[in-house]
Each structure stands twice: as C-alpha cells, then as structure tokens.
C-alpha cells in the first residue's frame, strides 16, 4: 500500500512487477558505468535467477529495483526504472517498501532493531497495521522461515546465517508482490540453502510473489527458476530458460555453468541437466548407470589419508608438517542473550603446516567460534588451543575491516596495491568501499587481512578465513584456491570455513565437519564429500560413486561407463 495515497499496486492494474528501459547508472566517483542500457521486464509471479560474475552489475540492478539507487548511493541514473508502475526516481526505498522486499548481500547492514521480534514488527508498524495483524504476520513469517526460536534474541547475538534468515523474514513480512534477493543462500548451510530455495518457490507458486534472486551457486537454484538473466559487464548477456542458459554458459561463460552441466558437456552427453534429478534422469534414459554398483568401481576410490600436509617446494618459513594448530578438549561457552550456551564441546583437533582444511557444518555448529578461538579472540572455559605461529583471521563480516571512505586509505602504498592484485581487484583508490558489490567488499577485506603477510617473515603459521567466498564467482574462487595453495606451499596451514561444497572440493585436502559444537567427521575431501545427501558435491550426488567429487573425475567416470 502506498503510505501516502493508501492505494495498492494491484488496485491500479500494474502490468509489470519490475521494469527497466534503457537504464544506465554510474556510482559517484566511478570512471565507468555499472549498468549500461538495461532493458528488463519482470512479470508478476515470475521466478528469475540473476547470474553473472562478480562485479558484473547484479547487486546494482537489485539496488535500482528497490530505490537504493539513486536515493542512497547517489551517482548518475539515466533511463526508466519502474517498480509496480512507480518511478524509482520519485520513490525511495520507504515509498516502495509495500511493493518490493529487498535482502542485501550483507544482511547485518539491514538490521536496525534490538530484538528479532522488534525487527520483524517494524515495517508493519510503519505501515500502520493493527497490532493483531502485526502479531499474526510476525508469527507466520517466523514459522515459514524456521526462526520462531530467534524472536526473543537480540540481533547482535545472531550468526551470519541467522541474520540472513531474519533479513529475509523482514523482506517477506509485509507480503510484497516482488522480492529481490542478493545471494540469499551465501551464509546458509546446504540443508538450509535448499530449504530456502524451495520456500521461495512455494511463495512464488502459491502466493504469486515475483522473485528475482542473484546467485553464484547456480546449482542450488536453477531447477526452481522460470527464467535466467545473466549480467555481463553491466549489460544483459543472456535472457532465457535455465536449460538454454546452460548452453549459452558452456559456450560463452563456462565459469557460470553448473558442475553437472560442465560434467555432461565434457563427457559429450546431451541435453545439459538443469539439476541433480534431471541429470540422473538423462543418464537413466541413456542407460548410463549411476551409483557404486554400476561398474568402473576402481575409478577414484576414496583416499583414507588424514592430516597429511600438501606437497610443496619447501620454501616456507617453517618446517612442513609441524603443528600449526592443536586443541585439546576445547570447550567454549557464549551467551546469545538468554544464558550461556555450549558452542564448542571437547574439540580435539590438530592441523599441520602446509595443510588446507575446509571447515564445514550446519549454521550454528561452531565454525566461526572455532576460528576465533584459534585467533585468541574467544576465551575457553576449559581445555586449550595452541597456535605456535602467528594467526591471520578474516571474519565473516567484511565490514569489520572496512572503516575508511577510500580504498586507497584502507590499503595505501605499494604493499596495498600488491594485496589488491593478489585478490584480483583492480579498483580506483578513490572508490568508497560501501559502493562495492558484496564480492568486491569480501575480497577487499581479504586483501586487508593478508596485506604484507603472504611470504617471508610476515607469513602466519595459520591462516583462518571465515566464509571468504561470499559474493565470489567460480573464477575468483579459483584465484582464492591458488592463493591458499601458495600460502600452504610456503608453510602456512590454511583453514577455510565454508558452506560451499563445490569450493571445498577444489580447495581442500581435508574436511573437518562440525555438528552442534563437536567434530562429527574428519577425513580427506573425497571421503567426506561423496556418498551424502547435502554435504556432497553436485558431481557426487549425480553419480553416487565413492570418491568421485570433482567435475574432472565425473567426466572420466562417465566416459568409462558409456
């Protein structure tokens, strides 16, 4: 409902939920346009996945769709942008809140209230809803997203994944006809991520909510989409069906293709699959067996080596294989606002120099707390954790590292330029970090955390990165893998907390899986990430063959079975 006129968009017979015509935009202080002559229409009830590399314009497109551009970010806007028929230039985020909900990449930037319940109630209060209507709406959206237990919690005690769910609940509580989401699953574990996608699909199908969702992990959401729009250097490079998108991606932008599509294309199998179910059905029709009993059992058996340091050139600043992290019966309690809670319970863990470890587990399992304990930021109530060398920690929120108004002030001089280059950033020193995409801010924070610390005497004994791939496309994740390889080869142990199974497959030699504050699995990557339902790569879920987790391994297995 329009807060001024009381008129609802549906009452005015608006044709499109969102419409851009010739839309161009340049951020203040930027030398180049971020959006370049965008023509895009979103029908009521459509489910659109917005694809594209980091910095391609996805975040800016969503910001323009909710009024943050130009009302918050300033800059130069040209062309037409209409939300439910309302011009964005004449209506800011407050005036558009009844017709569009928005979830940013950094949900912590959207939370303003003290408690979760108050945060959900706030937009309803602003709209003037009756107290009974507000209470019902808060209860409904909390149940839908599985967060009723969070309602009394103070927002400062929430984990990144919990904040992401709360931000989504705020966007949905007014029941807007259009939802814009910027990587909503980036901080969610595989189970929660899948549940969120299908919740959005249910809202889309049953309530007619139009959904535009930017995502890098397309394997999670393509099967739910009606349409894919791919951004390329500020313009629309593709607009069509999910299957046609995969064909375009394999040909034009392989880094955007899903693992199963890359696997099928590499093995010469058509059509390209939109998801795991589709992939298995295509293989069944072609009479190509899946599972451990389908032949080729000798291909890629799971390795059983644990705690083995990676090979390298021996040029590190410390002996390879020495202990970089050791915890004994580590026990940590935290108070989320309603009394102490055991977050880590009796953790026994040893990580050696040169190892690359993926730390995985569901939201709230204790991953971030373990990394913070390793860095000395959390005091154990019992047990111990020892790190003989220096520790470099990148926390989950890049805002913890971005405190200045210019990139050049965050990373000055030659050392700063080298750090930016190491993470693949080529940005003007005058840019404001707040105007960067989520992936760019994440990489900027990574550059700050590692500036001057990647070699020689500055090399830490232990590098801990907490969800560093948020906002990164596959190419940038490959760069991060190369950076981890270099650090490990020089003698550092690298632990990366991640929900991204596909990244873990490419990066890690070993996976440590946490569950409710305890280590539930600790073995080589092929052992842990194959044969499961959720903590398993897409290749593993399609082929269900022991130890086959990567695209290249999948291609070899498929070629052997045909």
Q: pLDDT tens for the chain, 562 residues: list them.
A: 333 334 443 444 458 999 999 999 999 878 889 999 999 999 999 999 999 998 899 999 999 999 999 998 899 999 999 999 999 999 988 889 889 999 988 777 778 888 999 999 999 998 889 999 999 999 999 998 889 999 999 888 887 778 888 988 999 999 999 999 999 888 888 888 888 898 889 889 988 999 999 999 999 999 999 999 999 999 999 999 999 999 999 999 999 999 999 999 999 999 999 999 999 999 999 988 776 665 544 444 444 333 344 444 444 445 567 999 999 999 999 886 667 889 999 999 999 999 999 999 988 899 999 999 999 999 999 999 999 988 999 988 777 888 888 888 888 888 888 888 878 788 888 888 877 777 788 888 888 888 877 777 778 899 999 999 887 888 888 988 998 998 999 999 999 999 999 999 999 999 999 999 999 999 999 999 998 888 999 999 999 999 999 999 999 999 987 6
Tell me what pLDDT residue 320 has. Answer: 60
Classify 148 as helix, strand or coil.
helix
**Beta carbons of 370 and 168 less than 8 angstroms apart:** no
CA gap 222, 204 in Å, rounded: 14
The answer to whether 166 and 156 are in contact (CB under 8 A) is no
Structural domains of the chain sorted by starting position, each given as residue range(s) with its CATH number in brackets: 15-100+177-257 (3.40.50.300), 115-169 (no CATH), 323-529 (3.40.50.300)
pLDDT of residue 515: 93
CB 242 within 8 A of CB 223: yes
* Per-residue pLDDT, 106: 77
Confidence at residue 5, expressed as pLDDT on a 0 to 100 scale: 37
Q: Cite the DSSP H helix spans in 37-130.
A: 58-64, 68-71, 93-96, 116-127
Task: Give all strands of the β-sheet with 493-497 in edge-to-edge order.
Answer: 391-394, 462-466, 493-497, 356-361, 510-515, 518-524
Q: Which of 366, 392, 352 is nearest to 497 (CA)?
A: 366
What pLDDT score does 187 carry?
A: 80
CA distance 61 to 22: 12
Distance CA 469, CA 442 (A): 8
Q: Is 352 helix (H, G, I), strand (E, B) or coil?
A: strand
State the Cα–Cα distance between residues 142 and 119, nearest whole angstrom. Answer: 12
Backbone angles phi, psi at 213, to 5 degrees: -125, 120
Would you call 469 exposed, middle or buried from its count of C-beta atoms within 10 A (0-12, 13-18, 19+)? buried
Residues 556 and 393: their CA atoms lie apart, in Å, by: 38
Under 8 Å between Cβ of 359 and 371: yes
- Given a contact cutoff of 8 angstroms between Cβ atoms, the answer to whether 540 and 532 are in contact is yes
Q: Are 223 and 44 in contact (CB under 8 A)?
A: no
Question: Residues with Cβ < 8 Å from 18, sequence gap 6 or more?
Answer: 40, 41, 42, 65, 82, 83, 84, 100, 178, 210, 212
DSSP states along 512-535: EEEETTEEEEEEEHHHHTSS-SSS
Alpha carbon distances (Å) from 201 to 141, 195, 204, 456: 15, 10, 5, 51
Residue ranges of alpha helices (H) inside 253-363 are 259-267, 276-285
- Provide the edge-to-edge strand list for the sheet that holds 18-26: 35-42, 18-26, 76-83, 86-87
CA atoms within 13 A on the CB side of 516: 0
Task: Classify residue 10 by its DSSP letter.
Answer: G
SS3 19: strand
Three-state secondary-structure class, residue 313:
coil
- Residues near 135 by Cβ (< 8 Å), separated by ≥ 6? none
What the block records as the tokens of 46 is: 């459509």
């Amino acid at each position: 409902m329009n807060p001024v006129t009381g008129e609802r968009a549906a009452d005015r017979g608006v044709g499109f939920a969102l419409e851009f015509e010739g839309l161009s935009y340049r951020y203040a202080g930027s030398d180049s346009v971020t959006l370049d002559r965008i023509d895009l229409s979103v029908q009521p009830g459509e489910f659109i996945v917005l694809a594209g590399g980091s910095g391609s314009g996805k975040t800016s497109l969503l910001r323009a769709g909710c009024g943050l551009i130009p009302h918050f970010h300033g800059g130069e806007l040209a062309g037409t942008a209409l939300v439910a028929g309302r011009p964005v230039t004449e209506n800011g985020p407050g005036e558009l809140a009844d017709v569009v909900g928005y979830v940013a990449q950094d949900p912590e930037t959207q939370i303003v209230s003290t408690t979760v319940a108050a945060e959900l109630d706030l937009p309803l209060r602003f709209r003037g809803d009756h107290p009974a209507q507000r209470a019902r709406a808060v209860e409904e959206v909390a149940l839908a997203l599985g967060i009723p237990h969070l309602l009394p919690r103070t927002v400062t005690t929430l984990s990144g994944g919990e904040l992401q769910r709360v931000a989504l609940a705020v966007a949905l509580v007014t029941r807007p006809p259009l939802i814009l989401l910027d990587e909503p699953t980036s901080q969610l574990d595989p189970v929660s991520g899948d549940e969120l996608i299908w919740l959005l699909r249910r809202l889309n199908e049953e309530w007619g909510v139009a959904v535009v969702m930017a995502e890098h992990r397309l394997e999670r959401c393509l099967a739910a989409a009606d349409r894919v729009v791919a951004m390329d250097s500020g313009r629309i490079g593709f607009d069509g069906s999910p299957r046609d998108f995969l064909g375009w991606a394999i040909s034009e932008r392989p880094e955007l293709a899903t693992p199963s599509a890359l696997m099928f294309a590499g093995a010469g199998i058509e059509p390209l699959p939109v998801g795991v179910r589709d992939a298995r059905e295509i293989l069944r029709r072609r009479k190509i067996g899946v599972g451990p009993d389908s032949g080729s059992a000798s291909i890629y058996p799971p390795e059983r080596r644990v705690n083995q340091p990676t090979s390298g050139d021996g040029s590190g600043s410390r002996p390879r294989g020495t202990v970089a992290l050791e915890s004994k019966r580590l026990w940590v309690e935290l108070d989320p606002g309603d009394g102490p809670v055991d977050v880590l319970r009796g953790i026994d863990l040893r990580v050696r120099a040169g190892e690359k470890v993926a730390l995985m587990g569901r939201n709230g399992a204790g991953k971030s707390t373990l990394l913070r304990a390793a860095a000395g930021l959390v005091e154990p109530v019992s047990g111990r954790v020892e790190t003989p060398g220096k520790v470099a920690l990148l926390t989950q929120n890049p805002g913890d590292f971005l405190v200045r108004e210019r990139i050049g002030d965050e990373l000055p001089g030659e050392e700063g330029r080298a750090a930016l280059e190491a993470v693949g950033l080529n940005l003007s020193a005058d840019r404001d970090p707040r105007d960067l995409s989520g992936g760019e801010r994440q990489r900027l924070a990574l550059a700050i955390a590692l500036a001057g610390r990647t070699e020689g005497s500055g090399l830490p004994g232990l590098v801990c990165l907490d969800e560093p791939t948020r906002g990164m496309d596959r190419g940038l994740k490959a760069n991060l893998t190369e950076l981890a390889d270099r650090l490990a080869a020089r003698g550092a142990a690298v632990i990366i907390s991640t929900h991204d199974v596909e990244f873990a497959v490419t990066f890690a030699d070993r996976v440590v899986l946490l569950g409710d504050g305890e280590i539930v699995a600790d073995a080589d990557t092929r052992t842990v990430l194959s044969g499961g339902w959720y903590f398993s790569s897409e290749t593993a879920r399609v082929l269900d063959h022991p130890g086959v987790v990567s695209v290249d391994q999948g291609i070899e297995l498929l070629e052997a079975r045909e």
